[in-house]
Structure 1
Amino acid sequence: MTTLRAESLSYTTPQGRTLLSDITLHAADGETVALVGPNGSGKTTLLRCVYAALRPTGGRVLLDGADLHALPVKARARRIATVPQDADAGGIELTVREIVAMGRSPHHRFWEADTAADDTLVREALARVGIADLAARPFPSLSGGERQRALVARALVQQPDVVVLDEPTNHLDIRYQLEILSLVRELGTVNLLALHDLNLAAYYCDRICVLAGGRIVAAGPPADVLTAELLREVYAVNAEVGVHPVTGAPTVVYLPPARVTATS
């Protein structure tokens, strides 16, 4: 069984700004854990520490009990796949198929070419995310939603143990938001994702961690975490939280601010 754990994780920039403070969380095979919170709460910074784009200035990230940052880069890449919030091809005119095939690179030596099995994985991944017809298109020519699906396909062909996703529904229409999150849940991997949509988090995630000011202020099953009081405290909004009659998941309905009527 794969386990991912952050222990007392902190991150302070070289300029002295603290973005994360004393973060502790865990996830295991088959679990999908959401990070939610306002803009600037630390979600992306935490994800970047988890997939080792940033080195924590305090605490550590453990993968099956081993310090993630002590693993060789290629070994780490074989086990953790990342779907960033926004990505481009760095100005290189790679095709969608080539971008997706990059997910196989951690499994090969530098000089090794893709195999027939690799090609099959790429074709299957493109079909699963609904962009098989875009395989020959230049990646930079895609819409934001199409790029997002290509990056999910790249994560699929990587065959990782852990999938880290930063706003995976960004730019997607409603159909593909639902399909991508359903697909992620079906993988059986450890899934850690940042989401803005609390209703999607409530339906698709086993647990929710709420961040504010670089700290986790609440964590647990969606029904325990998503309360009107917490939303008022963290997001400064009024909301009603009920139980959806079909899904049984918590459902958040946001209420408009009270109107002030001018008097003469």
Structure 2
Amino acid sequence: MTQPHIVDSHCHLDFDSLASDLPDVIARALDAGVTRMVTICTRLRNAPAVQAIAEAHAPVFWAGGTHPMSAAEEPLATLDDLITLAGHPKFVGIGETGLDYHYTADTKPIQQESLRLHIEAARQTRLPLIIHSRDADDDMARILTDEHRAGPFTCVMHCFSSSPELARAALDLGFYLSMSGIAAFPKSGALRDIFASAPLDRILVETDSPYLAPPPHRGKRNEPAFTAHTAHTGAEIFGLPYADFAAQTSANFDRLFWKAAATPKAA
């Protein structure tokens, strides 16, 4: 029986634990109904390898930026860097970028500078911004709001697991919340409540693989096929049949990631 089609909007296929058997990883994703994947480059010096994965596999698109935890270690990206990457036909988003004060609060200034630069790239390219936010809710809400007021852009809050206040700030700006395997963890009731209160047409699903595998694979390597497990949780949150939730989140993905939507889907 054919599985409903769904999208893994955020994964890391260039990381060693997935790259080592990538053809099988992609085949399992397709078998699970995950017909499109966006693999994320977190350090721009790795862009050629991530681009090559997208070029070699029809269901795979890519995005690129400087992860906030690496912002102090990597050369600061330039607008020209990001705009040049955006010229690739399968490059569909700017980031991931953002703020992470959990382990790297000492680099707040460079993280914020990098974030604002990525926002400008998202404005100029019209590609969606992909945001990572951890333990930085107040600064994140302030910067996104201020920058959106200065000039609009589109955005997804990737792997959303922050506060109701940040969720509301993002939704008020017209942004999207992406649901990862964290939403399926038994102790994530408060997070499920945040998603339940969000508009259904603003929800995406993702794995963030190889991290954050949902039950029944928690503690193991995550992979795009497991998007289906998170999506089943999402369907339960919204009280929908799985096929309807898969169709709605795929439509949401197409609306936000318009460049991927313009590419014919894999069979």
- When normalised by structure 1's length, the TM-score is 0.37
Higher RCO structure (Cα 8 Å, ≥6 apart):
1
Please report the TM-score for the alignment, with normalisation by the length of structure 2: 0.37
Specify the structure having the higher radius of gyration (Cα): 1
Query: Larger helix proportion, structure 1 or 2?
Result: 2
Higher strand share: 1
